């Protein structure tokens, strides 16, 4: 004879797991960009719009030197987390650097080049994902600083 399951059994909640490890990688890239004072940081959720990637991380630098430094730092932080790019394009020129991590593609632009290509408009159907609160304040402050002190 089998016993009926006890419906009054409670269990403690499972430890918090990341629901989306790819999102965590996008946040890692964003955080690395903010470490080097990236401006106008945006994360687009492109999962429903392309098979190229799940997220685009878009950031600006105020000079070609800063763009290169941002891209190199993002790559270094990700490598330390065992997350290697499949390809890196544009690093030498520092106008638009693309770091392709497969599921996350990072675009680091020199600000005027970003305005010209306007990826946010091209991907306007893709929703912007909110940064974690710890990064939101930092991102806003750095964008304001870039606006107040253009080079």
pTM recorded for the entire structure: 0.80
114 pLDDT higher than 70: yes
Any idea how long the chain is? 151
The pLDDT of 47-68, averaged and rounded, is: 96
Confidence class of residue 13 from pLDDT cuts 50, 70 and 90?
very low
3-state secondary structure of 105: strand
Q: 54-58, 95-99, 136-140, 147-151: which range is least confident on average?
A: 147-151
75 pLDDT higher than 70: yes
**How many Å apart are CA 107 and CA 96, to the nearest integer?**
7
pLDDT score at 135: 78
- Residue pLDDT, tens place only, 115-145: 999 999 999 999 999 988 877 766 666 666 6
**How many Å apart are CA 58 and CA 119, to the nearest integer?**
8
Enumerate domains of the chain plus CATH numbers.
21-130 (3.30.460.10)
pLDDT score at 127: 96
The pLDDT of 20-48, averaged and rounded, is: 95
Cα 53 from chain centroid?
12
CB 98 within 8 A of CB 77: no
List the one residue out of 125, 148, 113 whose CA is nearest residue 37: 148
16 pLDDT higher than 60: no
pLDDT score at 136: 72
5 pLDDT higher than 60: no
């Amino acid at each position: 004879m089998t016993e009926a399951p006890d419906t009054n059994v409670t269990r403690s909640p499972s430890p918090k797991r990341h629901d989306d490890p790819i999102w965590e990688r996008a946040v890692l890239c964003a955080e690395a960009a903010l470490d080097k004072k990236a401006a106008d940081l945006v994360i687009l959720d492109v999962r429903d719009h392309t098979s190229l990637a799940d997220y685009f991380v878009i950031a600006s630098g105020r000079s070609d030197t800063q763009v290169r430094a941002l891209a190199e730092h993002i790559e270094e932080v990700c490598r330390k987390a065992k997350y290697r790019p499949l390809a890196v394009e544009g690093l030498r020129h520092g106008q638009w650097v693309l770091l392709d991590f497969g599921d996350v593609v990072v675009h680091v632009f020199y600000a005027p080049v970003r305005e010209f290509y306007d990826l946010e408009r091209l991907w306007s159907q893709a929703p912007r994902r909110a940064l974690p609160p710890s990064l939101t304040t930092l991102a806003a402050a750095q964008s304001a600083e870039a606006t107040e002190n253009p080079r």
